[in-house]
Amino acid sequence: MSFFKNLFNLHQGEEKKEKVIEDILNNISFRGANLWILACAILIASIGLNVNSTAVIIGAMLISPLMGPIVGAGFALATYDFDLLKKTGRSLLIATIVSLLVSFIYFYVSPFKDVQSELLARTSPTIYDVFIAFVGGLVGAISLTRQDRGNPIPGVAIATALMPPLCTAGFGLATANFAYFLGAFYLYSINCFFIGIATFLIIKYLKYAPKNTGNEQLNKRLRYVISSLVVLITTPSLYLAYSLFQEKTFNENVAHYITAQFENSGYTIIYKKIRYNSSPKKIELAFLDKKFSEEELKTLQSNLKNFKINNTELIIRQKETDISDEILTEINKSKATLSNKDVKIKHLTDELEQYKPSDPTFANEVKVLFPNIKEFYFGKLNNFSKKDSIYTTTVMIYEPMIETVKGKEVVKEVDTEKLQQWLSKKFKDKEVKLIRQ
């Protein structure tokens, strides 16, 4: 046990507590240079989201100073430092408002307001975002208390992704899409909460001394107030993590259900909407051409339980009265897509046809007319001339039969002149090439 204690001992290589506190205080303020750096980082991240460039977004996250006040808030909670908590809260509020304002102005002025995949990825939190924020917060807090900090801090800044959700929230405000704004700001809030909680736990583990005001009664009051704040922050955060886990499990079960019941049977789904937050939960589907009977619908509904999907209603839109404009648009898109696919398949099929003999009896005819051919390969090849022109040539590679005469192997002759004339006439190609293997 002592071996493992020493192996995971965080007190080894620990920085002096006074120096850690000094660094935290230096990084929580958003004035002057820090505020300019934040505004520029937000602008870069907004551009990255606008042009869907992951590299630009990562660069913006590396230069962002947003982690400072969040880590400071976790430290203040752990040391019962109410004054520091007020400072970090004020700094975080300023940073958030400035970030929203800069991203709002950029997206409002920008003529490009298409919703890119990088933007969509920041509009709704998942259980993985909670895990990443918490573990990233642990790494950030541990690194902050080390003498040799190494390289974890830039990695934490990238992994926890505080800036992209804020920029996406600004995009939601600029385009009046409040669903995007709320979802992105929700993700940003989750990251802040769990980074702060992780910092709180590490500082408590390292036993940083609580702040002493010199007034024992005030000390007790501050500890009571801050302990209440920790409970108020932690309880809904844990419930949130549990809810996101439940939603993730539900979506996975629905995906397995849809695959097993519909996709494996070859049914084309052209509309899918999952309503997790409704009561009961709903799975809405529409198919390109498949119609289900009432009996089949009842069976499909009852099969939901086999995939651990409870309190959920399966709605299959297949009547004209059930098909909304949204579903109709999806149907038209799917039909157009399938039509384009059919055209491409036909084009590729026609292209392949010119490279293979269309007569299924061709091989049998060769065996009858030219019995001295043991086996052959036949096809058409693109020929590239010196004049940069391309033309197709018919090629036949053949292997003649070999017989043993008086103990010696003798190659049977193939009438190549007759073979070439026959192939030229059959495939209407005067440039047939014969190659003996």
Encode pLDDT of 87-123 as tens digits. Answer: 888 988 998 999 999 999 998 988 877 777 777 677 7
Which residue would you say has higher pLDDT here, 145 or 160?
145
Mean pLDDT of 202-214: 80
Helix (H) or strand (E) holding 393: strand 390-400
Model pTM score: 0.60
Q: What are the residue boundaries of the structural domains of the chain, listed by start? A: 8-211, 252-350, 362-436
Note the pLDDT of residue 72: 87
Encode pLDDT of 118-152 as tens digits. Answer: 776 777 777 777 788 888 888 888 888 887 766 56
Note the pLDDT of residue 423: 84
* Beta bridge partner(s), residue 315: 284
Cα separation of 66 and 218, whole Å? 31
187 class by beta-carbon count within 10 Å (0-12 exposed, 13-18 middle, 19+ buried):
buried
Task: Answer whether 200's CB lies under 8 Å from 230's CB.
Answer: yes
Domain 8-211: which CATH number of 1.10.3470, 1.10.150, 1.20.1080, 3.40.50: 1.20.1080
Question: Where does 206-324 have alpha helices with state H?
Answer: 216-261, 294-302
Cα separation of 416 and 173, whole Å? 79
Encode pLDDT of 332-353 as tens digits. Answer: 665 555 555 555 665 566 555 5
pLDDT range class, residue 256, cuts 50, 70, 90:
very high
Q: Which of 225-229, 233-237, 250-254, 357-361 has the lowest mean pLDDT?
A: 357-361
Token pair of 357, please?
């003999």
Encode pLDDT of 281-313 as tens digits. Answer: 999 888 877 888 889 889 999 999 999 998 999
Mean pLDDT of 380-393: 67
For the chain, percent of residues with pLDDT exceeding 70: 83
Note the pLDDT of residue 332: 61
Note the pLDDT of residue 192: 86
Note the pLDDT of residue 348: 62
Encode pLDDT of 38-95 as tens digits. Answer: 889 889 988 888 888 888 888 888 887 788 888 888 888 888 888 888 888 898 899 8
Helix (H) or strand (E) holding 123: none
**3 state SS of 399:** strand
Encode pLDDT of 183-195 as tens digits. Answer: 888 888 888 888 8
pLDDT range class, residue 4, cuts 50, 70, 90:
low
* Burial call 99-130: b when 16+ CB within 10 Å, e when fewer: bbebbbebbeeeeeeeeeebbebbbbbbbebb
Encode pLDDT of 223-243 as tens digits. Answer: 787 778 777 777 777 777 788
